[in-house]
A and B are shown apart, each in its own frame.
Chain A
Amino acid sequence: MTETGCKDPVILNLWHPIAAVAETAPGRVADTVLLEERLGFAIDDAGNAAVWRSRPGLATGDRVEPLEVRDTLPAKLAYGYLWTSLGSPEEIFPIPEFAEPDRRRLNAATIGVNVSAPRAIENFLDMGHFPYVHTDILGAEPHTEVKEYDVEISIERDEILATRCRFFQPMASTTSSGGADVDYIYRVPHPYCSVLYKSSPVDEKRLDVIAVFLQPIDQEHIHAHMMLCVLDEENEDKVIKRFQQTIFGQDKPILENQFPKRLPLDPRAETPIRADKSAIAYRRWLSQKGVTYGVIPALG
């Protein structure tokens, strides 16, 4: 085995996203970086995929039959992305809604951010920043309160679940003009992935699904893949994507000014408040799992 920059067995043995299937030219070699390793990959029209450690002879842009590549890494297509692993991965976490036939599924954006994956996950879980960072979109002053919500670490599913989350959103739905509380449910089923369920503006009884799948380039750089699985028959892809790209573009400069870039797991490194319950649970969960990559482990 080649020496890799990541020594964290928990992270090495996970599935990681490396590309949106819709944005990969079929039958051509493409390349990327995962956990400081250079990787090559290819997907054909039939949905066969191969991922390998970059090597001479398979240059980016070359034609290739994925099924014929030898000496490959695990590969899997799920939720519109190609996933791989540098270790021995188990099953990937489920998102049952992805199979519902009336939903739109798309990769909203893949954006490079100069921050650790866990910092970006915390940002995704965080409602308190809506009025300040996503002003007049996801929140607006003076409606700044983060109301009580529930968080649990589900042992059986090994994931964090935050429920009963509500936050005031101006223009909450396409049907009414005023602002209202919007409901959210957050799942963190993977140290570097999170899934958000949010009241659908078109159907009160159902939830839109928005997920971030983070590809760790190294401890302090990521590619954030944003997956949408929404109930929307009106808007063009372009419009839906642009909205999510705006949101993410607002978070990026904040994330890149967070210090230190790796997430400190020492409870005394920063000052949590009640609104940060889900982040506190996330930090504890990472500590319990023994994750060391992308974090500053607590001493002792």
Chain B
Amino acid sequence: MQQERTRTRWHPIAASHDLPPRHVFHAQLWGREFAVWRADDGYVNVWENRCLHRGVRLSIGINDGRELKCQYHGWRYANRTAGCTYIPAHPADAPARTITNRTYPAVERYGLVWSCEQPEGEVPGVPGLEREAPLALRGIPVNAPAALVVTALRAHRFQPNGRIDGSDAEMVVKAADDFSVALSARADGAATLAIFFVQPVDSGRSVIRGVLDRDPGAEARNAVLRHHNAGLSVLRDNVERQAAARPAPAPIEPVYERVPAALAELPEPSAHGRKAALRVTVARKWEAADGIAGFELRPLKGLLPTFQPGAHIDVHLPNGAIRQYSIVNGPGESDRYVIGVKREADSKGGSLCLHETVREGDVLAISEPRNNFPLRRDAVKTLLVAGGIGATPLIAMAQALHHQRLVHSFHYFAQNEAQLAFGDRLDGLKDTLVPHLGLTPQETGGRLRDILSGYAEGMHVYLCGPGPMLEAARAIAGECGWPDEAVHFEYFKNTRAIDDSSAFEIALARSCLTLKVPAGRSILEVMREAGVDMPSSCEQGACGTCMATVIEGEPDHQDVYLNDAEKRAGTKIMTCVSRAKSARLVLDV
């Protein structure tokens, strides 16, 4: 059927000049609306024109250069992936990664933006437009079906560039099909080829998007554009008169995809297992600071999943080790993941392997990003406090806060200036960055006290750095009156010795299973053996991925992820290292 065939055809839906910086353009094809916007990095996004939350048109949203923000509840969607990165109503939660708007392909060619609902193959080349810089005319909307417009265009007349004052051009139809007409005009030795593409907006509406084979140059351009505008306006009036005399075709009702079942229910869906679902190449490796290697990871094909500030990935190394690294990217930087790896003297093979063995061009397996260190954006002021390589998640946070102009300051402790990582990104943060260099542990304590004094309600602090510094900072924050809920931290590793000598029973409420956890085995291992899929990442009680809810029983916390209040509450447990003090634990799994 005609509909089917046309869904696979590429059509122009906008002109490149319809997409100035920070603008969102409303386009339509076969009744389906699109929000079209160009990010600051040049990428053109063509999205379903509907916020997944409550269906508000995204074409009235705000293009901030990196993300598109919905007007109704401020949900933010990332450049390229259209994945939701932030839901302001729940500032403490990382949005489910799978909240992703529907995207359509976008190709810019001949000064037009082309898209297609179900593309088969590439945008076809148009003979005659390949030679020189073509010139896109202004789009002319017409209230008439495409077929009528095409018929009228076959008899259309215009003057070639350089001869627009005449009226006697010799017209030839060079080619034509259901949605385009190529016309050449000749007069006094001048010739211009114009291709008119007819964009079917709906069953009864179209846009004429003309392209001239040659830009006449800055001086003549306006006059040429005016000449075509005038001619096409006359054509439009005639076609609209014809269309009005016929019965109006029924508008096309586009079909909207349903959201995944998991998202329709209130509980957030959980991720699965310790899997390396993605393959990336090391596109660039460089010295991001003294002793810190930067890696830029790009997808082998397709797009990388959406990330949020604070998220990390598992990197599966060629030597079999699995390590977690925070994503350093700023918002909207969605074509790659950037990580920083410190060369550790006592490395068990993770950092050494990345520093010495892995090279540009190598392929690595990584997990999807996971965010157990989400950034709230409802703070009256945010403090970021980093020590050494602990800066990586906080650099991502600082860029997001800076981009959204939220009040914050970023305190970065390091031995010396050469050890401050990702200087290019730090430069962009301007004066919100406060480096603290070469301090002794004691001086560090004093400085932390200065930074953390002056707590006021609504402030939040994010800490990441070496264990002793984090312990000190948390203790000082407590003394300075910071409530536990306002102090967020991420350890790189759990340096506590794990006591796994206890034996106990777990009952899994949702899976209706009762299992024995013997000494020497973890809850996570026992559950996995019983076939219960549970996500995990660091498997040492630092990252928070394997958290479960405790319904009954007393946990024996051995992790460094939960804060003291959460530990006392006893309602959450890290299944990779923590155990039970009671004989039995009932988990909501």
- Whether B91 is near chain A, meaning CB under 8 Å from some CB there, is yes
Are A268 and B378 in touch, CB under 8 angstroms? no
Determine if A258 and B56 form an interchain contact, defined as CB atoms under 8 angstroms apart.
Answer: yes
Q: Does B264 sit within 8 A of A, measured CB to CB?
A: yes
Q: Are A268 and B87 in contact (CB under 8 A)?
A: no
Binds A, one of B38-46, B132-140, B254-262, B446-454: B254-262
Say whether, besides A258-B54, A270-B52, A142 and B406 are in contact (CB < 8 Å).
yes
A 236-265 to B, binary, CB cutoff 8 A, 1 in contact else 0 = 000000000000000001100111100010
> What band does the interface of chain B fall in when counting residues whose beta carbon is under 8 Å from A?
35 or more
The answer on a CB contact under 8 Å between B259 and A144 is no
Q: What's the Cα separation between A211 and B211 when bound, in Å?
A: 55
A145 in contact (CB, < 8 A): yes
When chains A and B are docked, how far (Å) is the Cα of A126 from the Cα of B56? Answer: 14
| A254-B56 Cα distance, complex, nearest whole Å | 7
Task: Tell me if B74 is interfacial: C-beta within 8 Å of chain A.
Answer: yes
- Is the Cβ of B89 less than 8 Å from the Cβ of A275? yes
Asked if B379 is at the interface of the complex by the 8 Å CB criterion, the answer is yes
Q: A257-B56, A257-B57 are in contact. Are A269 and B256 (CB under 8 A)?
A: yes
CA distance A266 to B257 in the complex (A): 12
Give, as a whole number of angstroms, the nearest-CB distance from A156 to chain B: 25
User: Considering residues B72, B99, B256, B264, which has the most beta carbons from chain A within 10 angstroms of its beta carbon?
Assistant: B72
Q: B90 is contacted by which of A129, A257, A258, A274 (Cβ under 8 Å)?
A: A274
Other-chain contact of A145, B55, B72, B378 (Cβ < 8 Å): B378
CB distance from A259 to the nearest CB of B (A): 5
Decide: A273 near B90, CB < 8 A? Known: A133-B71, A254-B71, A258-B54: yes
Are A268 and B90 CB-contacts (below 8 A) given A133-B72, A145-B378?
A: no
Contact A270 B259 (CB under 8 A): yes
Per the bound structure, the CA–CA distance linking A142 and B457 in Å amounts to 13
Q: Which residues of B contact A93 (CB under 8 A)?
A: none
Q: CB of A146 within 8 A of chain B?
A: yes
From B88, B90, B261, B458, residue with most partner A Cβ within 10 Å: B88
What is the CA–CA distance of A75 and B389 in the complex, to the nearest angstrom? Answer: 74
Residues of B within 8 A of A277 (CB): 266
With A128-B89, A274-B90 already in contact, the answer to whether A259 and B74 are too (CB < 8 A) is no
Are A271 and B56 touching (Cβ within 8 A)? no
CB distance from A173 to the nearest CB of B (A): 18
The minimal Cβ–Cβ distance linking B384 to chain A, given in whole angstroms, is 16
- Taken together as a complex, chains A and B put the C-alpha atoms of A143 and B53 apart, in Å, by 20
CA–CA, A254 to B33, complex, Å? 17
Residues of B within 8 A of A258 (CB): 54-57
Counting contact residues on chain A (CB < 8 A from B), the size range is: 20 to 34
Chain B residues whose C-beta falls within 8 Å of the C-beta of A259 in the assembled complex:
33, 49-50, 55-57
**Nearest chain A CB to B347's CB is how many angstroms away?**
40
Closest A residue by C-beta to B263: A271
Checking B55, B74, B92, B377 against A260 with a beta-carbon cut-off of 8 angstroms, the contacting residue is: B55
Cβ of B487 under 8 Å from chain A? no
Report A96-119 residues with CB < 8 Å from chain B CB. none
User: A268 is contacted by which of B56, B92, B259 (Cβ under 8 Å)?
Assistant: B259
Nearest residue, chain A, Cβ from B256:
A269
Q: Contact at A131–B55, with CB atoms within 8 Å?
A: no
Alpha-carbon separation in the docked complex, A68 to B378 (Å): 61
- Check: B60 CB closer than 8 A to any chain A CB: yes
Query: A291 contacts the other chain (Cβ, under 8 Å)?
Result: no
A145 to B92, CA, bound (A): 9
Q: Which residue of B lies closest to A280 (CB)?
A: B266
**Do A144 and B55 have beta carbons less than 8 Å apart?**
no
Residues from chain A with a CB closer than 8 A to the CB of B89 are: 128, 144-146, 273-275
**How distant is B28 from chain A, measured CB to nearest CB, in Å?**
12
Is A142's CB under 8 angstroms from B259's CB?
no
B52 contact set on A, CB distance < 8 A: 270-271
Residues of chain A within 8 A (CB-CB) of B475 are none
**11 A–B pairs (Cβ distance < 8 Å), ordered by A:** A132-B73, A141-B74, A144-B89, A145-B89, A145-B91, A146-B90, A254-B56, A257-B56, A259-B55, A272-B266, A273-B87
Top 4 closest pairs, chain A to chain B, by CB? A144-B88, A275-B89, A268-B258, A128-B89
